[in-house]
Amino acid sequence: MATGLSARLLAIVNALPLTEGMRVLEIGCGPGAAAREIARRIGNGHVLAIDRSAKAIAQARASSQAEIASGRLSLRQVAAEELELEPNETLYDIAVAVRVGAFDGRHPLAGRRAKRRIAAALTPEGRLFIDGGDPLRKISLDD
């Protein structure tokens, strides 16, 4: 059983199509509970967890030392609509966003920009999952 995850977040993580060695981008990671659970489930894969909030990234960093040290988790303070991968950074297999304003209709322009940035960070087969389904839904990365 996962520790530190609400029933809602656990249902979301359980619904993701996670496989060993996968690379996962989490948008809006907050304090990092879901990112840590995803990292635990993908073995030698990697999670890049991003959040626009410096406070959230600081909380995630403080709670994720083991995952960071193992190389299975990295954190970056950046908004989804500003995300750019580092030079030579390997693309991600899937992305997941929970309670992110750019995808819930509150900020349509930011949502379009974020989709473009996320699409550029994913493999050609990459998919973006957001909350609001049962418990997730896949959304198109096309404009």
Q: Any idea which of 26-40, 88-102, 104-118 has the lowest mean pLDDT?
A: 104-118
> pLDDT value at position 143?
59
Q: What is the 3-state secondary structure (H, E, C) of the chain?
A: CCCCCCHHHHHHHHHCCCCCCCEEEEECCCCCHHHHHHHHHCCCCEEEEEECCHHHHHHHHHHCHHHHHCCCEEEEECCHHHCCCCCCCCCEEEEEECCCHHHCCCCHHHHHHHHHHHHHHEEEEEEEEEECCCCEEEECCCC
Percent pLDDT > 70 in the chain is: 97
Cβ partners under 8 Å of residue 54, min gap 6: 77
Domain boundaries, the chain: 7-139
7-139 CATH, one of 3.30.870.10, 3.40.50.150, 3.40.50.1000, 3.30.70.20? 3.40.50.150
Give the residue among 21, 36, 25, 12 at the shortest CA–CA distance from 126.
25
The pTM of the whole model exceeds 0.85: yes
Give the residue among 73, 107, 98 at the shortest CA–CA distance from 13.
98
pLDDT band at 1 (very low <50, low <70, confident <90, very high): very low
